[in-house]
Structures are given as structure tokens and as C-alpha cells.
Amino acid sequence: MVAVADAPFDAHEWVSFEDPSEERTWVVDVTFLSSSWQCIYGAGCQGILTEPTPERMEGCCSYGAHFADEADAERVSAAAGTLSAEQWQFRAKGRRKTGVLKRDSKGVMTTRLVGGACIFLNRPGHPGGAGCALHRAAIDRGIPPLELKPEVCWQLPLRREDTVSANGHVTTSLGEWGRRHWGEGGKEFDWWCTEAPGAFSARVPVHRSLRDEIVAIAGQDVYDLLASYLESRTAQRGRGASLLAHPTVRKRAASPIAESRAL
């Protein structure tokens, strides 16, 4: 293990372990899941356009949501039909024949855009409040937002990637979704939340705050193993052992004037 003081500026610590119920090796980003990251939508989020646009309150919803598969799209489309006008600003548009989904010439399916952002995004000034209509509806119903939102939306900024070896063994990584994972478009973002010091302000670590999401991605047994390990590492830190802080946090500590607009 690299000593914290000697770690490269962008280093992350990872841990691997075998899945208790199937032929799969998990490789997990300890640095991100033990960090204090939290979503700061409406509280410092600059959006993902080519310049800061906090006043638009679009968060990461400017380009619409891609779907994991047909089942994901069908689930979200069905959820749209249950939303009220108070919960969803563009309910009338979503009920038209065009619906809430679109498919491009390559067959890629996404949510439709209205006024340059996702059709499910309520804009500032909407009586029901700005933000994702599906998220708002889930909160109203007392259910996890992941039950209504597209998979890519409720997973962010978590990222799961499966790799299959020649002998069929699956290795699954679970870490943060960084700017690079958006492809070429990510380079154009003026701002991205896992690079923003102001987003690392939660009182609990990511593995607790995103418990429901991690369980949905990895299963309860894997989550329990992971949480137990991370809690033990936290306890060891109290006895003088070290956890590698997130690069954004290390950068903030090294620079007293760290991205003031992101705080």
C-alpha cells in the first residue's frame, strides 16, 4: 500500500474480495466510498455545461438520461404515468403521443428534452419545486428514488463495470463516475461534482449515504462485506492508521484557496 504522504495526487485506494454467492471478484474504490462526498444539487452545483450555470438548477440533467435496457425504459415510462401535475412540471408534454422517451438513428434511447434539459426536470419557479420529478414523487411516497428514476440517474456518481476473462470469470469494479467516463463530452464540462471541494461535505461516508444504491448494484451480501470492511478501516484510522483521502480533499487541504466558486 502506498503511504498517504507519498501517494500520487490522483491516487485511489482499492480493495478486492470474492463474491460470497457467485463466481465474481469485486474491486471496490475505498477512497471514494469512504469519502464525505454528497450531491449538492441546489446548494453549490454548477451543472455540467461548458460554463457555470447554477441559476438554471439543471445539475447533471442537461442532456437527458440514457437507459440501461428496455426494462429500465419501460419502468420509467410507467412511473411517469403516475406523477401529478404538482410533482411534474412537464406532465402534459409527457402525456402526448410522443411520450417521455426518444430513440436516435442508432437506436439509443434517452429521455426527451424540453427547453434544453430532461423532460423530468422541474425548473426554478415550478410550484412543486425545482429538481427531478421522479425523485420528488419517490420522496412523497416514502420510497427510494431508485425505484422510479432511470438507472444511470440513481447510480451517479457510482459506477459499476463488469469485465469477463477468457475463462468466464467476472471481475466487477465499483467506484466513482468521473469526468472521463462521459467520453469526449466530459472534457467540455466546466464543472464535475467529484472534482468539487464543496461536494465533500457530508457528515457520513458515501457507503452509508448511498447504501440503497450500493445494495441495488451489488446485492445485500456484498454490501454487508464492504460496509464491515470500511467501518473497520474507519475504526483503525481512529487508532492512528490511515485512509487515503479523496484527491479532491487532498487538493483542498494542500491549497487554502481551493475552487471558491465550488464551495
The predicted-structure confidence for 142-156, as pLDDT tens digits, reads as follows: 999 999 999 999 999
Q: For residue 62, what is its C-alpha cell?
A: 442537461
Where along the chain do its domains lie? 1-56+165-258, 61-155
Determine if the pTM surpasses 0.85. Answer: yes
For residue 157, whether the previous peptide bond is cis, meaning omega lies within 30 degrees of 0, is yes
How many Å apart are CA 215 and CA 207, to the nearest integer? 10
CB atoms near residue 114 (< 10 Å): 17
The pLDDT assigned to 241 comes to 65
Distance of alpha carbon 28 from alpha carbon 174, whole angstroms: 5
* Whole-number pLDDT of residue 260: 46
44-62 confidence digits (pLDDT tens): 999 999 999 999 999 999 9
107-149 pLDDT tens trace: 899 999 999 999 999 999 999 999 999 999 999 999 999 999 9
Q: Which stretches does DSSP call E strand in 136-177?
A: 158-164, 170-176
CA distance 147 to 201: 26
